[in-house]
Structure 1
Amino acid sequence: MVRKEENKSSDLNPKTWEPHFLATGIGSLPHSDPEAALDLIWQSVPTAPHWPQLPNLGAESSFIGQFLRPLIETGVIGGFASPRFQVEAPDWPERMARFYELYLRAESGEIEALDAFGFTPKGGIGFESFCADIEHRDTQGVLLVKGQLSGPLTVGMQITDANRRASYYDEIQRDLLVKALAMHGEWQTRRLARFGYPVLISIDEPELYAYGASTHVTLGRESLIAHINEISDGILRQGGIPGVHVCAGTDWTLLFDSKVRVVNFDAYEYMTSMIVLAESLNDFLEQGGILSWGIVPTSAKAFGETVESLQECLEGNIQELVKRGVNEARLRAQSILTPSCGIGTLELDLTERIYALLQGLALKMS
Structure 2
Amino acid sequence: MSQQQQSYPWPVASSTGVGSWPGEDPDEAMRTVLGELPDLPHLPELPGRGAGADMIGRTAGLLVDLPVEVQPTGWRVADTPGRDLARAGSFLSYDLDALTDHAHTYEGPLKIQLAGPWTLAAAIELRNGQRLVSDPGAHRDLAESHLEGALVHIAEVRRRVPGARLLVQVDEPSLPSVLLGSLPTASGLGVLPAVDRIQVEAVLRTLFSAITAAGAVPAAHCCAPGVPVDLLRRSGARALSMNALLLERAHDEMVGDAVEDGVGLLLGTVPATDPPASGTAAEPGGSPAGTRPPGSAQAPGMSDPAAIVDPVRELWNRLGFSPDLLSAAVVTTPTCGLAGASPRHARAALEAVRAGARVLRDEPRR
Give the TM-score band, short-chain normalised. 0.7 to 0.9
Looking at structure 1, the residues matched to 138 and 244 of structure 2 have their Cα atoms a distance apart, in angstroms, of: 33
- Residue 7 of structure 2 corresponds to 16
- Residue 121 of structure 1 corresponds to 90
CA contact (8 A) 2:69 2:77 kept: no
- Residue 297 of structure 1 corresponds to 271
Structure 1 residues 303, 276: CA separation in 2 closer, same or farther (over 3 Å shift)? closer
- Residue 331 of structure 2 corresponds to 336
CA contact (8 A) 1:296 1:338 kept: yes
Question: Deviation digits for residues 43-79 of structure 1, max 9, x if unmatched?
Answer: 21011111111112222222111122365x84x4342
Which of 307, 310, 323 is equivalent to 1:309?
307
RMSD of aligned C-alpha atoms?
Answer: 2.8
**Bigger shift: 280-289 or 349-358?**
280-289
CA contact (8 A) 1:263 1:292 kept: yes
Looking at structure 1, the residues matched to 308 and 91 of structure 2 have their Cα atoms a distance apart, in angstroms, of: 37
Which of 216, 222, 227 is equivalent to 2:203?
227
Alignment partner of 1:40 is 2:32: yes
Structure 1 residues 309, 337: CA separation in 2 closer, same or farther (over 3 Å shift)? same
Structure 1 residues 80, 354: CA separation in 2 closer, same or farther (over 3 Å shift)? same
CA contact (8 A) 2:272 2:340 kept: no
Looking at structure 1, the residues matched to 219 and 253 of structure 2 have their Cα atoms a distance apart, in angstroms, of: 20
What pairs with 1:224-303 in structure 2 (closer than 5 Å)?
224-249=200-225, 250-268=227-245, 270-272=246-248, 275-299=249-273, 300=275, 301=282
Matched residue type, 2:233? F
Looking at structure 2, the residues matched to 327 and 172 of structure 1 have their Cα atoms a distance apart, in angstroms, of: 46
Q: In structure 1, list runs of 5 or more residues that go unmatched.
A: 1-13, 90-94, 99-115
Question: Deviation digits for residues 267-310 of structure 1, max 9, x if unmatched?
Answer: 02x120xx324333333223321111112221325783322311
Which of 358, 361, 364 is equivalent to 1:363?
358
Which of 181, 185, 192 is equivalent to 2:150?
185
Q: Identity across aligned pairs (percent)?
A: 22
Question: Deviation digits for residues 310-335 of structure 1, max 9, x if unmatched?
Answer: 1333222221222xxx4554454322
Please give the secondary structure, in 2, of the residue aligned with 1:263: strand
- Residue 112 of structure 2 corresponds to 147
CA contact (8 A) 2:75 2:123 kept: no
Structure 1 residues 122, 304: CA separation in 2 closer, same or farther (over 3 Å shift)? closer
CA contact (8 A) 1:151 1:203 kept: yes
CA contact (8 A) 2:269 2:309 kept: no
Which of 30, 34, 38 is equivalent to 2:22?
30
Looking at structure 2, the residues matched to 78 and 186 of structure 1 have their Cα atoms a distance apart, in angstroms, of: 19
CA contact (8 A) 2:168 2:211 kept: yes
Q: In structure 2, list runs of 5 or more residues that go unmatched.
A: 184-192, 276-281, 283-298, 362-366
Looking at structure 1, the residues matched to 327 and 357 of structure 2 have their Cα atoms a distance apart, in angstroms, of: 12
Q: What is the number of equivalent residue pairs in this alignment?
A: 313
Matched residue type, 1:198? R
Matched residue type, 1:311? V
TM-score, normalised via structure 2 length: 0.77
Please give the secondary structure, in 2, of the residue aligned with 1:60: coil
Looking at structure 2, the residues matched to 70 and 329 of structure 1 have their Cα atoms a distance apart, in angstroms, of: 40
- Work out which structure has the larger RCO, using CA pairs closer than 8 Å and 6 or more positions apart in sequence: 1
Please give the secondary structure, in 1, of the residue aligned with 2:341: coil
- Residue 204 of structure 1 corresponds to 171
Matched residue type, 1:79? E
Looking at structure 2, the residues matched to 303 and 290 of structure 1 have their Cα atoms a distance apart, in angstroms, of: 23
Structure 1 residues 312, 225: CA separation in 2 closer, same or farther (over 3 Å shift)? same
Please give the secondary structure, in 2, of the residue aligned with 1:174: helix
